[in-house]
Structure 1
């Protein structure tokens, strides 16, 4: 697969991923914690938002759960940032 970019800084921290452990009961808090991490380092989000303004962006994830994973949160966050910056 061809990948145009890897923005490591928009991935959840290793500590947060380990804490979450894909436990459904931690999903709500995971979202809050991950959004806090994203807000603390806007540089990566800026790159992603800019890319999304110009072309479709595909977010990759390795979790088996298609409804509760970091890409779901990241997608929502990027969409919010797109709207807030218009």
Structure 2
């Protein structure tokens, strides 16, 4: 499977393949036209409760990861859809967080590659 992770604020590239936003909330300051999305998959994003609890605090990332993985178990159809896409062409998971090392895209990519 070919999966990459990018911030939604980075320029789109022809090498991105299928671009899917995995945030529940639309990224600030970005028009839908400039996002160049193939899909916005809100339901695979962390729940509002989990997102607010995590609050992008690095020290909570391990606990956040475990809780998010538990939430992902409720969406096997979305996981399978993304895996199928990634097996056919490059899949780019897009997220809005500033922290490139501690975000839901990292967790989701690990789950997709299992």
With structure 1 as the length reference, what TM-score do the two structures score? 0.87
1:75 aligns with 2:106: no
Aligned to 2:48: 14
1:56 aligns with 2:97: no
Question: Runs of at least 4 residues of structure 1 off by over 4 A?
Answer: none
Gaps of 5+ in 1: 81-86
How far is 1:41 from its partner? Answer: 1.6
Gaps of 5+ in 2: 1-34
With structure 2 as the length reference, what TM-score do the two structures score? 0.67
How far is 1:24 from its partner? Answer: 1.1
Please give the root-mean-square deviation of Cα atoms over the aligned residues, in Å. 0.9
Of 71, 74, 80, which aligns to 1:40?
74
How far is 1:76 from its partner? Answer: 0.8
> Greater helix percent: which structure?
1
> Greater strand percent: which structure?
2
- Determine helix, strand or coil for the equivalent of 2:59: helix
Aligned to 1:23: 57
- Determine helix, strand or coil for the equivalent of 1:59: strand
